[in-house]
Chain A
């Protein structure tokens, strides 16, 4: 199952020196943070704010190449989460055939915002994300966090 999500915001994470894209579904029940690098974050923020640069940036070029060839981005899907790395696929229509190409979510989302195509997230990813987060939370627990009521 896929859930459509929208880019709701972009935050700076001072601990990892990286940026976080916040994806949310329409009902605001599911949230997915994705860590991205600085150039990818600016590519996404330019598209969110509708900023056009004097010269085409890398993802503008990506879109122009596809437009010029008459290839159409249908959707992008965040498909998997393995060892803290998110995986995505870009779905394209070209000469009556469908193509699906492996991408980092940051590139896929930067392209989706420019091509005004929907972003979907596989429900497994949302589930795994909450599990990994739970694991991290458990890992960070110290012995003294337990049995405090007895102390």
Chain B
């Protein structure tokens, strides 16, 4: 299922450095919150806002490296969740073959946004989402503080 990034917001837990990236499908029937670190959250937010920093940040460098070598990022997929840890894969096309690289979802999403590549999640991951983990974020998405982008 194809998802898009709806927003990045600070974790609801006070004094937490974590950020939550909210992904939704087109019909908004499925929501996937993914907890990421502050640096990764910032990397995702900058890409969403189309900010071009004066110097390439780490994910800009990965994009530049792949572009210059003629590798094309075709998609990123959130593939699994184990013990609250999400797993993702980045799909790259070289001249000869399709390559897959294991990644944290945060890095995968930061790269997808910089390369305009689609983000997918497996049905299996969606099926295993507990509603109590999703509902609070759905409320926040609709709230004014979040600019009501939902």
Name A's B-contacting residues (CB within 8 A): 38-40, 43, 54-59, 61-62, 64-66, 68-69, 71, 85, 87, 90, 92, 94, 99, 101-104, 107
Interface residues of chain A: helix, strand, loop or mixed (majority): mixed
A40, A54, A94 interface centre (most CB from chain B within 10 Å): A94
- Residues of chain A contacted by B103 (CB below 8 angstroms): 56, 61, 64
- Residues of chain A contacted by B54 (CB below 8 angstroms): 85
User: Are B58 and A59 within 8 A (Cβ)?
Assistant: yes
Residue from A55, A65, A85 in contact with B104 in the complex, judged by beta carbons closer than 8 Å: A55
User: Are A69 and B59 within 8 A (Cβ)?
Assistant: no
Tell whether B85 is near chain A: CB-to-CB under 8 Å.
yes
User: Are B85 and A65 within 8 A (Cβ)?
Assistant: no
Residue from A58, A62, A66 in contact with B40 in the complex, judged by beta carbons closer than 8 Å: A58
Counting contact residues on chain B (CB < 8 A from A), the size range is 20 to 34
Name B's A-contacting residues (CB within 8 A): 37-40, 54-59, 61-62, 64-66, 68-69, 71, 85, 87, 90, 92, 94, 99-104, 107
How many A-B contacts if CB must be within 8 Å? 82
User: Are B85 and A55 within 8 A (Cβ)?
Assistant: yes
- Residues of chain B contacted by A99 (CB below 8 angstroms): 68-69
Interface residues of chain B: helix, strand, loop or mixed (majority): mixed
User: Are A69 and B55 within 8 A (Cβ)?
Assistant: no
- Residues of chain A contacted by B59 (CB below 8 angstroms): 58
Q: In whole angstroms, what is the CA distance A39 to B90 when docked?
A: 22
In chain A, what residue has the closest Cβ to B65? A101
- Residues of chain B contacted by A56 (CB below 8 angstroms): 102-104, 107
A54, A65, A90 interface centre (most CB from chain B within 10 Å): A65
